[in-house]
Amino acid sequence: SDLVDAWQLDSWEVYRDVKRLGRKTRLSEAQRAVLWSIFAIMRERLAKQGLITYAALFTQLAAALAVRSAAGVAPPFDHVVVDESQDVSVAQLRFLAALAGNR
């Protein structure tokens, strides 16, 4: 999903409480509960198969770079130039920022 996977929402409570500011028609809590049950099944199936989504991959890469940064390791790059940035996802953007030390 463009919300759950992109932002790596990992619990019903987080998904239920997230604000959807740009959404014109808001989903009810009951509708969100149904959707969360589907997301949870898919997350479980992926985990059982040892698979992750692209968003999870970029999130894990950004987290690994953050660990290195916290340990005092310099980021791999001083600057990152992105062409066609309108096509970059939330997870990819976080990864790109981490490549340059979130500067």
Same domain membership, residue 95 and residue 58: yes
Same domain membership, residue 69 and residue 34: no
Has residue 7 been placed in a domain?
no
The whole-model pTM stands at: 0.76
pLDDT in tens, 40-50: 999 899 999 99
Token couple for 91: 């997870």
Greater confidence, 3 or 75?
75
Has residue 6 been placed in a domain?
no
The mean of the pLDDT values for the chain is 88
Number of Cβ atoms within 10 Å of the Cβ of 25: 5
Sequence-distant (≥ 6) Cβ neighbours of residue 34 within 8 angstroms: none
Same domain membership, residue 69 and residue 88: yes
Same domain membership, residue 59 and residue 44: no
Q: Are 95 and 61 in contact (CB under 8 A)?
A: yes
Q: How many domains does the chain have?
A: 2
Greater confidence, 3 or 52?
52
Sequence-distant (≥ 6) Cβ neighbours of residue 1 within 8 angstroms: 35, 39
Q: How far is 30 from 42, CA to CA, in rounded Å?
A: 19
